[in-house]
Amino acid sequence: MTQKELHNARLIKEANEARMQMHTRRHFLKESAMGLGSLALGALLQSCGSGAPALPETTNLFDPAHPLSPKFPMFPAKARSVIYLHMAGAPSQLELFDYKPELMKLDGIACPPSLLEGKRFAFIRGVPKMLGPQAKFKQHGQSGAWISDRLPHLSTVADEISFLKACTTDQFNHAPAQLLIHTGSPRLGRPSIGSWATYGLGSENQNLPGFVALTSGGSFPDAGKSVWGSGFLPSVYQGVQCRSQGDPVLFINDPKGMSRDMRKASIDAINQVNQEEYKEYNDPETLSRIAQYEMAYKMQISVPEVMNINNEPQYIHEMYGTQPGRESFANNVLLARKLVENGVRFVQLFDWGWDTHGTDSSTSLDIGFINKCRSIDKSITALILDLKQRGLLEETLVVWGGEFGRTPMQENREGKENMFKGRDHHVEAFTCWMAGGGVKGGVSYGETDEIGYSSISGKVTAFDIQATILNQLGFDHEKFTYEFQGRPFRLTDVEGEVIRDILA
């Protein structure tokens, strides 16, 4: 053997070894477990062949080659889509929906020690003063729902809404509380509700993502992108963040000098390489990657079309109070309607700037808070009415809420009274609401005590809200699981109960 032949032989041997190393024990175990599992499942299913073919409880077996193809739920769904409007920072329930005349009488009086003993607040120290409602309340609609004059438009559709007056949480900081309400855990790493929904249902419109996240208010929610992240679910199920200003999705347009045909050719080439990669290593994530490239290519056409609100007629812009070209909550709300109309399952809106501590004018209950209310009032009302007149409200669940509530006491940061009127974070009582999607209208569920400090009946947790959303989408939250780290995980962990009293 010549020197060269020896050299080549060694190279080939090394290459083979490298390949073997790539084919890890983990790969082997995963494949054999899958293989054996599907053999067993096949045998099981065959043996229950009594007439009708046995259907698995869910169809959510992750298909890496078509991760977003539409899938069916466990039972016939009342809601086909969800629009979740999250007011990041936590709006004050005491100025919007939870009317407490008794609290007005206590305005300015030092908070009794019984309300402070054993409690922790984010900023309140020492003895704060009670703060009466900073808005005027009236009853609205046939249901007589209490809504303040901060939301004059929403008051007109009170009879479409189910108010959850006694929401509670156990997290008094923004990021953990937001994670809890959107992912079922105050810590990072769990999939968001929208990811679960997309994992379970796929995308009905193959040209659009199943889960879209939109932000406004000048800042991301405190918990960052994790509130629409996919956690341990395959990454293809995370929310696709779209923008109402500039390109709807970053880098969606072809770069200068690149024609669409050329783009297609390059994506095909990349996918071919990925196919080879998949043949070699059998890693399902490779198939997901191929699918994502293909979807991105399709989205280049369909997303700009759906995300363009310029073509909406003038009366729609007037109704929503939208101004095309700006980044605004109202624009996002209109986009949400358009996305749902085109088959997107889950649209999540985050509007930042509701953290009304009263430390400056923008967080003051009588200045910044009023401006925030004005920025959402018309568009959320328009959303409900517009969905209704398109026959979509009965199959679209609209959810509105923050991550926690606000104290009946005026915040005294580090023991000193704040410059402006504001309230601290509060975990024991806040209001969320739902409309459409098989939820009753004109219902007020749950009650707080006479100063709005704690929930006394109809208590609702983040898990209950999640269970209810999944229920409306056709899933039993106790059976809808994903196998991870050796055990099945649920969105609601070991808790949550569907709020049946508000379901139609």
**Residues making contact with other proteins (CB under 8 A):** 52-53, 55-59, 70-78, 152-153, 156, 204-208, 315, 318-319, 321, 341-343, 361-362, 364, 366-368, 370-371, 374, 377-378, 381-382, 385-386, 388-391, 394-395, 438, 474, 497, 501, 503-504
Q: Phi then psi for 202, rounded to 5 degrees?
A: 65, -160
111 neighbors 375 (Cβ within 8 angstroms)? no
In angstroms, the CA 168 to CA 403 distance is 9
What is the smallest separation between the CB atom of 334 and other proteins, expressed in angstroms?
13
Q: Which residue lies nearer to other proteins by CB, 226 or 332?
A: 332
Q: Which residue lies nearer to other proteins by CB, 186 or 202?
A: 202
Amino acid (one-letter) located at 23: H
In angstroms, the CA 434 to CA 446 distance is 14
Instruction: Tell how many helices (H) and how many strands (E) occur in the chain.
Output: 11, 16
Q: Give 53's contacts (C-beta < 8 A, 6+ positions apart).
A: 45
248 neighbors 303 (Cβ within 8 angstroms)? yes
What is the smallest separation between the CB atom of 479 and other proteins, expressed in angstroms?
10
A 10 A CB-CB count for 289 gives 19
Q: Which residue lies nearer to other proteins by CB, 78 or 86?
A: 78
CA dist 280 → 14, 23, 27, 35, 420 (Å): 17, 9, 12, 17, 64
Q: Which residue lies nearer to other proteins by CB, 289 or 459?
A: 459
**Which tokens belong to 265?**
């050719």
Q: Which residue lies nearer to other proteins by CB, 272 or 371?
A: 371
Q: Which residue lies nearer to other proteins by CB, 59 or 274?
A: 59
What is the smallest separation between the CB atom of 438 and other proteins, expressed in angstroms?
7
**Residue 251 C-alpha from the chain's centroid:** 24
Q: Which residue lies nearer to other proteins by CB, 78 or 357?
A: 78
CA dist 33 → 14, 25, 240, 277, 441 (Å): 29, 12, 32, 21, 49
Q: Which helix (H) or strand (E) holds 8?
A: helix 3-22
Q: Which residue lies nearer to other proteins by CB, 263 or 388?
A: 388
Q: Which DSSP string do the residues of 360-390 spell out, in sequence order?
A: SGGG-TTTHHHHHHHHHHHHHHHHHHHHHHT
What is the smallest separation between the CB atom of 452 and other proteins, expressed in angstroms?
19
In angstroms, the CA 486 to CA 25 distance is 17
Q: Which residue lies nearer to other proteins by CB, 20 or 55?
A: 55
What is the smallest separation between the CB atom of 319 and other proteins, expressed in angstroms?
6
In angstroms, the CA 198 to CA 359 distance is 40
What is the smallest separation between the CB atom of 274 and other proteins, expressed in angstroms?
24
235 neighbors 288 (Cβ within 8 angstroms)? yes
In angstroms, the CA 304 to CA 346 distance is 18
What is the smallest separation between the CB atom of 224 and other proteins, expressed in angstroms?
29
What is the smallest separation between the CB atom of 256 and other proteins, expressed in angstroms?
30
What is the smallest separation between the CB atom of 367 and other proteins, expressed in angstroms?
5
What is the smallest separation between the CB atom of 225 and other proteins, expressed in angstroms?
27
In angstroms, the CA 312 to CA 465 distance is 33
Q: Which residue lies nearer to other proteins by CB, 18 or 456?
A: 456
User: 454-484 b/e with 16+ CB inside 10 Å = b?
Assistant: bbeebbbbbbbbbbbbbbbbbbbbeebbbee
In angstroms, the CA 23 to CA 269 distance is 24
Q: Which residue lies nearer to other proteins by CB, 223 or 439?
A: 439
What is the smallest separation between the CB atom of 74 and other proteins, expressed in angstroms?
5
End-to-end C-alpha distance for the chain, whole angstroms: 83
